Amino acid sequence: MENLQTILQAGTPVLIDCFATWCGPCQAVPPILKEVKEKLGDKIRIIKIDIDKNQQLAAQWKIMSVPTLLFFREGKLIWRESGVVPAHQLIPALAKALSDTN
């Protein structure tokens, strides 16, 4: 299994879905992420992290509520949003973050 730090440092930007199994709104996120993946394809990698199983990461990233989406490029946190973000809002935000250069 790949190391998370390796994934974050890789050339492909990463969208992390921080969720919890007990979280009702978190159940709405997978179909949204499927749509994002269909639109953005290989420009982005999407991974899910259960905050209950990864409490150290949740603390490090200061996750106060779920779902929270984190967008990393070259190991840097570029963008974050808590709550359910509809695909029609998420896709343009990610596309903008993908096109922005440092």
Among all residues, which ones are annotated catalytic? 23, 26
**Chain-centre distance of CA 93, in angstroms?**
12
Residues 10, 15: Cα–Cα separation, whole Å: 13
How many CB atoms are closer than 10 A to CB 102?
6
Of 88, 102, 99, 93, whose CA–CA distance to 15 is shortest? 93
Residues 2, 54: Cα–Cα separation, whole Å: 15
SS3 category, 21: coil
